[in-house]
């Protein structure tokens, strides 16, 4: 049946439309209805449109893929990019179900963030998402991709050359995380949980598109050492996808709760010491970010005013006046948000009671978009004894201060259980920063059993103490090939930063290789900042690397790098 109002529907009538300026990243489609609609009346609009040029739709040439044989296309909706993919209410405050029919050329497969997926004749794929989601979570990929089962409700998707590695890395682990998540936060409502390994130019670690998380191929470390990124994306199944921030100015409702949930699952699976160590790494990133911007920078609040001029715009259209929410992306909503959720747990004082609150919170607001006032109002309603005590206005820890005052979190959760893993790393970093190296003491420390975050913590300490005395880094590199030649992206990032901070020219090629191998924003921007803030030689390295790799980077990342290198680009 043709859709009502479609070409075959005699009742359909053409409507006058106009496109009006809206923001630098989109225009508003105004449709004049024949008469004013009644509240609750169902309208069916058929919009004939063409898309493909905008920033939300990424077209990759074969050389930007892992297989280098065929082109690839993917969409990235968060925060406000899906308006360049299809006409929509591009705000997280509006949720809807969707269906799509996608016809692709022979030799290609289409996948979407949908609850059902069916291949029909003529290489046509039909998708349905039966749960309401905000526009930014609709995603499409078309490429030379194949899949392999890794659990009862999970499969991995990847280019053929990566599928074996993906299956090996994730076989059996996803179900374990899902089961723990369900135990803590309530039923997993999305049916399947599949993972799609993206081409190397994908700018993010992961994107929590429902039913089908997109992740960077950097997660294929070969030793399961980076699976905690998947725990983060799985946690979004409850926080972000099910209960969603109504405006991008309160992004911490998505990310702060997800960081908390991720660390709850990690504690259940890997234990408290390791989780505290990972959280300490996160805290170090927040510290770096706040040192770089200055603590009182307006972005270092949990409630960010995204509109110029400071007026709050209601209804989630909080990017109404032209500041792109993507340009406000930083560590604060993640790590300061995590500290605020941890503070709420601290006020409750009992983990299982707080876990029960989180389940009730998800159940109360599922499939809705909410504000921080809704969240905190529900918290006080759920714990009337805390409301009575006036916990929202304890001097120095007022909820209002958490939300509206920039700067370092007023409360930091206790990460001391991580000390048993941190102490040896701290001591080893001290040894390597000394003027005369005590090789006997250094050789007495065995790092073969250290897991990723213990090594990351060690390298962060070395980076803080850099530049080290002449020759130390060279010896460190030789002593620990496990670190200096690692394929683990988290270790590679830190090693490259150490190489640059210590002007270890002999290993500049590692920086170049790493930036050629992937285009993840979190790895790319810090390295360009380090190169640009360094010597003439590192500045030249930055320019040379960027001119060679720019075509394979996501357009946003290209712009951010241009800005760092003073080449114009993102304002």
Distance CA 495, CA 345 (A): 36
* Number of H-type helices and E-type strands within the chain: 20, 16
What is the C-alpha separation between 324 and 56, in angstroms, rounded?
Answer: 13
Integer Cα distance of 96 and 369 in angstroms? 11
Q: Is 520 annotated as a binding residue?
A: yes
Cite the DSSP H helix spans in 100-251: 163-170, 173-185, 228-235
Angstrom distance (rounded) from CA 214 to CA 74? 10
Question: CB under 8 Å to 358, separation ≥6 — which residues?
Answer: 184, 185, 257, 261
Give the length of the chain. 571
Residues 255/333, Cβ–Cβ less than 8 Å = yes
Q: Dig out the tokens for 362 from the structure.
A: 């998800």
Q: Where are the alpha helices (DSSP H) in 55-214?
A: 163-170, 173-185
* HEC string for 451-494: CHHHHHHHHHHHHHHCCCCCCHHHHHHHHCHHHHCCCCHHHHHH
Is 422 annotated to bind a ligand? Reply is: no
Alpha-helix residue ranges (DSSP H) falling in 236-271: 252-270
Q: Are 406 and 297 in contact (CB under 8 A)?
A: yes
* Residue 78 known to bind ligand: yes
Tell me the catalytic residues.
233, 334
Q: Chain-centre distance of CA 494, in angstroms?
A: 19
Annotated ligand binding at 40? The verdict is no
353 known ligand binder: no
Q: Which residues contact 413 (CB under 8 A, 6 or more apart)?
A: 279, 338, 339, 342, 343, 345, 346
| Distance, CA of 72 to chain centre | 21
Concatenate the DSSP letters of all residues of 300-367 into one string.
GSSS---SGGG---STT-TTTTS--GGGG-SSIIIIIHHHHHHHHHHHH--HHHHHHHHHHHHHHHTT
| 271 labeled part of a ligand binding site | no
User: How far is 198 from 158, CA to CA, in rounded Å?
Assistant: 7
69: its two tokens: 């044989």
Annotated binding site for Zn(2+), which residues?
A: 232, 236, 255
Annotated binding site, which residues?
A: 76-78, 203-208, 232, 236, 255, 520-522
């Amino acid at each position: 049946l043709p859709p009502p109002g479609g070409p075959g529907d005699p009742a359909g009538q053409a409507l006058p439309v106009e496109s009006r300026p809206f923001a630098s990243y989109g225009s508003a489609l105004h449709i004049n209805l024949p008469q004013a609609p009644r509240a609750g009346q169902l309208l069916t609009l058929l919009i004939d449109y063409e898309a493909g040029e905008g920033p939300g739709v990424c077209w990759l040439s074969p050389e930007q893929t892992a297989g280098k044989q065929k082109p690839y296309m993917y969409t990235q909706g968060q925060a406000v990019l899906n308006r360049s993919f299809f006409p929509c209410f591009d705000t997280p405050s509006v949720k809807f179900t969707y269906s799509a029919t996608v016809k692709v050329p022979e030799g290609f497969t289409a996948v979407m963030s949908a609850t059902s997926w069916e291949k029909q004749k003529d290489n046509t794929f039909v998708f349905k998402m039966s749960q309401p989601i905000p526009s930014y979570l609709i995603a499409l990929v078309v490429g030379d991709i194949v899949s392999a089962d890794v659990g009862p409700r999970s499969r991995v998707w990847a280019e053929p050359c990566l599928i074996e590695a993906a299956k090996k890395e994730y076989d059996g682990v996803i179900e374990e995380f899902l089961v723990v998540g369900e135990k803590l936060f309530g039923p997993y409502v999305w049916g399947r949980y599949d993972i799609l390994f993206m081409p190397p130019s994908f700018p993010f670690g992961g994107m929590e598109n429902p039913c089908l998380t997109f992740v960077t191929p950097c997660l294929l470390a070969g030793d399961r050492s980076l699976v905690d990124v998947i725990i983060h994306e799985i946690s979004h199944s409850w926080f972000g996808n099910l209960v969603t921030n109504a405006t991008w100015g309160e992004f911490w409702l998505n990310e702060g709760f997800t960081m908390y949930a991720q660390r709850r699952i990690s504690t259940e699976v890997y234990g408290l010491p390791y989780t505290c160590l990972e959280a300490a790494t996160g805290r170090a990133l927040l510290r770096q970010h706040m040192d770089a911007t200055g603590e009182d920078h307006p972005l270092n609040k949990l409630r960010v005013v995204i509109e110029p001029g400071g007026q709050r715009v209601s209804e989630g259209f909080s990017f109404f006046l032209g500041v792109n929410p993507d340009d406000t992306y930083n560590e604060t909503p993640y790590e300061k948000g995590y500290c605020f959720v941890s503070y709420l747990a601290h006020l409750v004082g009992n983990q299982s009671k707080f876990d029960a609150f989180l389940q009730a919170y998800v159940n109360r607001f599922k499939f809705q978009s909410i504000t921080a006032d809704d969240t905190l109002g529900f918290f006080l309603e759920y714990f009337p004894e805390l409301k009575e005590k006036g916990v929202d206005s304890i001097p120095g820890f007022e909820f209002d201060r958490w939300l509206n005052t920039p700067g370092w979190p007023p409360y930091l959760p206790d990460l001391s259980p991580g000390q048993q893993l941190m102490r040896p790393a701290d001591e080893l970093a001290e040894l390597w920063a000394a003027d005369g190296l005590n090789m006997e003491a250094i050789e007495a420390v065995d790092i073969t059993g250290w897991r990723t975050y213990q090594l990351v913590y060690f390298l962060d300490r070395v980076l803080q103490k850099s530049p080290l005395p002449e020759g130390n880094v060279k010896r460190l590199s030789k002593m620990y090939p496990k670190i200096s030649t690692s394929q683990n992206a988290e270790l590679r990032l830190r090693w490259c930063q150490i190489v640059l901070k210590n002007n270890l020219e002999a290993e500049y090629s590692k920086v170049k290789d790493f930036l050629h191998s992937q285009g993840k924003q979190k790895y790319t921007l810090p390295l360009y900042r380090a190169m640009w803030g360094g010597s003439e030689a590192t500045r030249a390295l930055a320019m040379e690397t960027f001119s060679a790799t720019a075509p394979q980077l996501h357009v946003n990342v290209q712009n951010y790098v241009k800005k760092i290198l003073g080449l114009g680009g993102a304002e």
